Structure 1
């Protein structure tokens, strides 16, 4: 019976307490104020906010968040007024009402549309910020100019630290990656140099081939004319040789004729003696 009673009591707690999720240890009372009171929706919003602040304060006092590594506090827990006991039927009806309202925002697959989520998040995220002077999150509407400036400075410092941490982590990963890929990088450089050299050699030979093709085309075009010129030159040489042969033959005949005259003259001279 005690176990059943304990389980029933645990079931009545909110999900953050049951699952031991992170919760605020202190709550700004200004969060319970309505943003507007001129409309019924604004009044309802104020009631919901007041109930939320009361529940958060109650849970923070009665079920304090267990910090990792912290010693168990032997002091008494903060005193808090007991909440009004609500019947299980009313709690069930409230859960069904919340589920029905949430269903309006969800799609058929049970997820909140990205556009709707971004819209609600943009409206809510711009209303609250961490205020270092208060050491807590609070609405910007109630913050002074100095508190807003401190909030922006705190956010800037947090982003800078976050960026520095990521940069340091990236540098370490880069060093590890360089150690693991040094051999591959060396091999890659060798292959790249080989490819560049082969490409240069190919381009050089391609240029030479183009030049030789151009020369071959030029020679092929000029070949008939050169052949004709050589043929004409050979014909002229042949005719010249024939003329020289005829001239040579004439000179031989003249020589023989003169030799004959000389021989006859010598014979006549010898006979007269």
Structure 2
């Protein structure tokens, strides 16, 4: 039996951040310089730290409420799941670098530029001015760097990393791809056509969603019969219009977030699709 501690833990800060970074923002320039002002009684504890090029800074997110207002979060507790950009899936906060930490603890590896007494001048610290610093720890590449560590593809696209986790990529990021496959297959079924027989596809949604439709229908930008509008929105605004020589079908998606690709493969069509409309010779027939 595991007994989870319930009592809060009190930690006295060892320093404070002094920075021009004073307001919450969705982005941060990691080339910015700032300073960690350590408690004067801890000055001797810093002896020798100036010989290291990088350090870990652990801090308390004292203005997390400002960040929650920035993202228009209205619930009492901070979110523990966050949506993927352009994907109808979510990920837990512990698989992100989001400020929405349940413990309100933040950490950052920074470049140590110089030390002057109890002042540490650093570059790349993503903490706001006035942030309480809870701990400082030296960064040692032999123990702290793992060049072959796997990272999901969505992180690779945003951070130019060279390694991926294919398993994680399929289960989460490829939710959109799977949704596109099912949407494309449904449209072809309604029109009674096979792959490669559609004359035009118009898609609005995430790029993986479009790739799934391309794979299912055979329509392609290279063939000149696929037109794509990328939307960085939830699936409620995603749609497909697929046409053959005499009819066209438009499928709109429900605004639903999926746990992973396997869920998209298993759920009923009423969960996936908000509306299906077939047009033939200027006549419209609605199907659910």
**What TM-score comes out, normalization by structure 1 length?**
0.21
Where is the strand percentage greater, Structure 1 or Structure 2?
A: 2
**What TM-score comes out, normalization by structure 2 length?**
0.20
Q: Which has the higher contact order (CA 8 A, sep 6+)?
A: 2
Where is the helix percentage greater, Structure 1 or Structure 2?
A: 1
